[in-house]
Amino acid sequence: MRYNRWFTPWVLVIPALAWLLVFNLWPSINTVILSFTNAKPIGGGHFVGLKNFETLLHDEQLRWALLNSVIYMVVCLPFLTVLPLLLAVLVEKKLPGITFFRTAFYTPVVASAVVVALIWQWILDDRGLVNGLAEKLGVISGPLPFLSDQWLLLLSAISLTIWKGLGYYMIIYLAALGNVGRELHEAAAVDGAGPLRRFVHVTIPGVRGTMILISILISVSALRVFSELFILSGGKGGPGGRDNSVVMLIQQYSQGFEGNLGYASALSIVLFFVTVVPMLVLARLNRRGAEA
Amino acid sequence: MRRRRSALVASLAAAALTLAGCGLGSEDSGSSGGAKPTVDAGAQVTGEVSFQTWALKPKFTSYVEGVIKAFEAKYPGTHVTWLDQPGDGYDKKVLSQASAGQLPDVTNLPPDFALSLAKQNMLLDVAAADPKLNEEYVEGGVQAYQYQGMDGTFGYPWYLNTDIDYWNATKFAAAGLDVKNPPKTFDELLAAAKTMHDKTGGKEYLMSRLPGIGDFTNAGIKILSDDGKKFTFNTTEAAALLDKYRDAYKAGYMPRDILTNEYLGNSKLFTQGKVAWTTGGGNAIQDFVKDNPSLKGKVVPSPALDTPPLYVQGLSVSAKSKNQAAAIALARFVTNAENQAAFAKIVNIFPSTKASASDPYFSKSDGTPESDAKVLAFQSLAKAKVLQPPVISGATNDFIGQQISLAISGKISSQAALDAAVAKANQLLTQ
Amino acid sequence: MSVVTDPARPVVATEAPKSVRRRRSSGFNSVSPREKVARYVLLVFVLLITIGPFLWQLSTSLKGSGEDIYTRIPRLLPAQPTFDHYKEVTDTIPVWDYARNSLVVAFLVVGGNVIGASLAGFALSRLQFRGRKIVLGLFLATLVLPGEVTIISQYVTVREFGLANTLFGVALPGMIGALNVLLMYNAFRSLPVEVDQAAVVDGANAWQRFLYIGLPSVRGTISVVAIFAFIGAWDDFLWPLIVLTDPNKYTLTVGLQYLSGTFSNNPRLIAAGTMIAFIPIVIVFATLQRFFFKGVEEGAVKG
């Protein structure tokens, strides 16, 4: 095959690889170096050996953050893998006005954090929409502390993530649905398969690869959740900082002039190992599924 | 092909070197004396100078441009480049400028920003070049730019502000309280909060603020040891203060959401008409009424409880400035009595120059609540103090706040929370 | 050397049972009235959940200055509707200049991602070469690499390249995203392997297969990449703030910050600014979204 010389694939890959190395990989190596230092954002620091990692072991907030991250992932994963797919199927069909709906469903993804915070605080605060409705219906006697109880705050943040994620993953699914092609659906319809059957036997296998990719993305972003918890806790991580995520801790430690970049870097490394595990599991699943 | 690749490798290597450099620079600032200016006050003022302000555009564009024009006229041959940075992300902007060695010649820095930069010898000791500094500026303002363990003054105080109390007259009336005679101490405040809660069946709140370092200072608790190396606010007095807040919270005198509220939370709740008390600057009434016109005529100001807080902004001069003479002259010119007084007349801030104290504009009210508030705030300035030491910022501040809210929620004892806060803050201080 | 492979092709349901033949005559694209109603009910239901922030922003931006915007129960319809705040925004800041800067950045980022990610995605999924797995692993790993503390070192890099205070410097780090490479990889992978093999038999080289077979069939994913890239570049605040010094070069998100000053904040004005920044996103989304449905629509033309 004289058309494909050995370097052809590399020519195609090099630009992306170069970006990856300069803007992702190298800063990450720098992070690893910093994690053994007591560096500040300006003025530097010096090597302190494993001191940061020792501190990590006794960091109560980190334990809460890790627990929160795992809960986050376990709850988000099923919801966000399935609901956006259903939504994609719902808006896939051409109906009058469908462009409007497709666009509208995407708006939470691009809404500004300030507005999202205002709305959700309005919905969730002591005299907010949810508590108001529930009290009127007599479901509860006093308001539920959605924004000040450690676990309810976490739950509220998870709902916010799911709400924001719907539109985002919907459009990835939509593109994948487009690739499935209509012939298969038609063939199945001709064969008398109802909508549910077609969904299970045509749609789902057709987007299987995408589903795996999306579940990887969901678990990674659940473990690295930041803005939702930040918004709902007003940036403070809830009472005692027990509603922090690892990324919020990293942000707290690295912010400002007196930030502790060394410790923040050590936290980043913990986060890296925590995220790699579910990714490897899902990637393995993918391969096994493909071979079967 | 090959040449391009080697260029890429070279640039990667260059990037690698600078990255490794970032954050791991030399640390030779063990005994910080601050950077001394290399010019004296009499040096000739001419040439280019850059000037960075924080969120003054577009409202004060014409004011700043006017000051710059006057400066350029006074010192022929000078040319000022004005940069105004947006309100959000200013710390990150200054941080990246500082780590790139590109601080503007004259920069508006609050005292805590200036502290970190001064520690790295990035700011000039302006007092060394300007012996009149202590004579012409108020003591509190100058002190805000002098730091424990460091020799020098690292900025010209620019404008000052303080907080006074604001009360919602409608809610006071509903609870049978007299808004003309509002609480004057913390204990009176607590009693009024109880009355408001009891009289309105728990529907209205007075307080909506968690205690902070400022409240400890006000209660006479020592925050930092004299050598500035250790935090000391985990005393039984501090724990007792937290206990009072915790009991008030538990009894329902404060809205539960305050445990998660962000900075300025109480003024937002006040604007929304959800609580009857907030603190705010001398111009706060205008803002309340703008966002919530139904508050018009219902907001009553009074002096702050205990010692009012002092907020200072200042202009610092970069140690790397290539034109120190012009930079110092500009910082001094912008902060002189005349220019500050003019600034204070278009926005509610107060001058840091001693000469402004006699200006009747600040000391005479025209009888409106807005004007009363301004005069009250101006009078408060005289006894206002910086309540929160500038070393408490960023992560330290967050962590102390988290422990306090944990104590208020009743999950751990006040003393345990304070001990944890002090331990963590010390760890960050000596990192 | 290159061999076309197809590592993971979804097994399609060929075993769909041939049983009762309902709905046969009603073509695939036509919808029964009952289904139509059910679909619209669902659509409106989701709409109510998702569109809140948008409406809130819109209504705040239209509320008159004398109106309480913090009522206990948010009022959706402005009592004194006005366009004044939009006018004030355009009077206060040079919206058009900032929008142009944002567009320059966004186009660079979109272009870089569409080209760079497609090329890499194609090579990784359709061409066999030594080191392929390692490269793929690197891209996957990037998703979990700790990026939270790197913004200042990124700035130092961009400055080393001599690109501080340029729009190109703002665009640079985001011009090829690892996630987009993976999305493209995934899209190319789901193409039927037979088509590709036929092309190889016909003597098509990798480049031709990329241009004439690969690209046309992944237009949906390319438009997703374009949307993600556009929105990412358009909405970013902190990064352009750090890179740019000269206010004439500010992007819209940074420039809109002028609406919230140190001494006062008018939420109505900020809402109007946000709405202005929101419009291009809507346009880009509405334009590109129809490419997702290429499969269905092209099929309709054919059939």
The 3 state secondary structure assigned to chain A is: CCCCCCCHHHHHHHHHHHHHHHHHHHHHHHHHHHCCECCECCCECCECCCHHHHHHHCCHHHHHHHHHHHHHHHHHHHHHHHHHHHHHHHHHCCCCCHHHHHHHHHHHHHCCHHHHHHHHHHHHCCCCHHHHHHHHCCCCCCCCCCCCCHHHHHHHHHHHHHHHHHHHHHHHHHHHHHHHCHHHHHHHHHCCCCHHHHHHHHHHHHCHHHHHHHHHHHHHHHHCCCHHHHHHCCCCCCHHHCCCCHHHHHHHHHCCCCCCHHHHHHHHHHHHHHHHHHHHHHHHHHHHHHHC
Q: Which long-range contacts (CB under 8 A, 24 or more apart) does B219-225 make?
A: B219/B186, B219/B306, B223/B388, B223/B389, B223/B392, B224/B148, B224/B389, B224/B391
Residues of chain A with C-beta less than 8 angstroms from the C-beta of B20: 30, 33
Looking at the fold, whether C67 and C216 belong to one and the same domain comes out as no
> Are C240 and C197 contained in the same domain?
yes
Q: Residues C296, A92: contact at Cβ < 8 Å?
A: yes
Residues of A in contact with B252 (CB under 8 A): none
Q: Measure the CA–CA gap between A54 and B427, rounded to whole angstroms.
A: 13
Residues C143 and C229 in one domain: yes
Q: Across chain A, what does the average pLDDT equal? A: 83
Paired tokens of C32: 């029964």
Same domain, residue pair C87 and C146:
yes
From the list A21, A153, A236, the residue facing B398 with the nearest CB is: A236
Indicate whether A61 pLDDT > 80.
yes
For B47-161+311-381, CATH number?
A: 3.40.190.10
A122 to chain C: which residues are within 8 Å by CB? 74
CATH of the domain at C117: 1.10.3720.10
Could you tell me whether strands B47-54 and B106-109 are parallel, antiparallel, or unpaired per DSSP bridges?
Answer: parallel
Query: Does the pLDDT of residue A24 top 60, yes or no?
Result: yes
Please tell me if the domain spanning B47-161+311-381 has the same topology as the one spanning B164-309+387-429. yes
| Candidates C92, C152, C257; nearest CB to B87 | C257
- CA nearest to B57 within chain C: C258
**Same domain flag for C265 and C124:** yes
Domain boundaries, chain A: 51-291
Q: How far is CA A236 from each of CA A66, A249, B223, B399, B407, rounded to the nearest angstrom? A: 17, 10, 21, 8, 14
Low-confidence winner among A114-128, A262-276, C72-86, C103-117 (lowest mean pLDDT)? A114-128
Cβ-defined contact of A1 to C120 (cutoff 8 Å): no
Q: Tens-of-pLDDT digits for all 431 residues of chain B?
A: 333 333 333 333 333 333 444 444 443 433 445 677 776 666 788 899 999 999 888 889 999 999 999 999 999 999 999 999 888 788 888 988 888 888 999 999 999 999 989 988 899 999 988 888 888 999 899 999 998 888 899 999 999 999 999 999 999 999 999 998 999 989 999 999 999 999 988 888 999 888 989 999 999 999 998 888 899 999 999 999 999 999 999 998 988 777 765 545 688 888 888 899 999 888 888 888 887 888 888 999 999 988 999 999 999 999 999 999 999 999 999 999 999 999 988 887 899 998 888 888 888 888 888 888 888 899 888 889 999 888 887 778 888 988 998 899 888 999 999 999 999 888 888 76
pTM value is 0.79
Residue of B296, B304, B252, B256 lying closest to B278 (CA atoms):
B304
Q: How far apart are CA C173 and CA C163, in angstroms?
A: 11
Contact B119, B145 (CB under 8 A): no
Lowest average pLDDT, out of A255-269, B137-151, C207-221, C286-300, goes to C286-300
A33 touches chain C (CB under 8 A): no
**Residue C210 sits in which domain range?**
83-302
CATH architecture of A51-291: Orthogonal Bundle (1.10)
Domain shared by C92 and C65, yes or no:
no
Measured CA to CA, the distance from residue B377 to residue B373 in angstroms comes to 6
C284 within a domain of the structure (yes/no): yes
Distance from CA of A175 to the nearest CA of C (A): 5
CATH homologous superfamily for the domain B164-309+387-429: Periplasmic binding protein-like II (3.40.190.10)
**How many domains does chain C contain in total?**
2
> What is the model's pLDDT at position C26?
40
Kindly state the percentage of chain A with pLDDT values over 70: 91
Q: Are A174 and A87 in contact (CB under 8 A)?
A: no
The answer to whether the CB atoms of A240 and B402 lie below 8 A apart is yes
Question: Would you mind telling me the total number of residues written for chain B in this entry?
Answer: 431
Identify whether residues C75 and C154 lie together within a single domain. no
Once rounded to an integer, what is the mean pLDDT over residues C146-172?
A: 84
CA C232, CA B348: separation in Å to the nearest integer? Answer: 38
Q: Say how far apart CA B268 and CA C301 lie, in whole Å.
A: 57
The answer to whether the Cβ–Cβ distance between A148 and B257 falls below 8 Å is yes
pLDDT at C70: 64
| Angstroms from B325 CA to nearest CA on chain A | 26
Task: Tell which of C59, C124, C145 to mutate to test the A interface (max A CBs under 10 Å).
Answer: C145
Instruction: Enumerate neighbours of B (3 or more CB pairs within 8 A).
Output: A, C
For A175-232, what is each residue's pLDDT tens digit? 888 766 666 777 777 777 777 888 888 888 888 888 988 998 899 888 888 878 887 8
Q: What is the pLDDT of residue A224?
A: 85
Q: Is residue C26 domain-resident?
A: no
User: Which chain B residues contact residue A231 at CB under 8 A?
Assistant: none
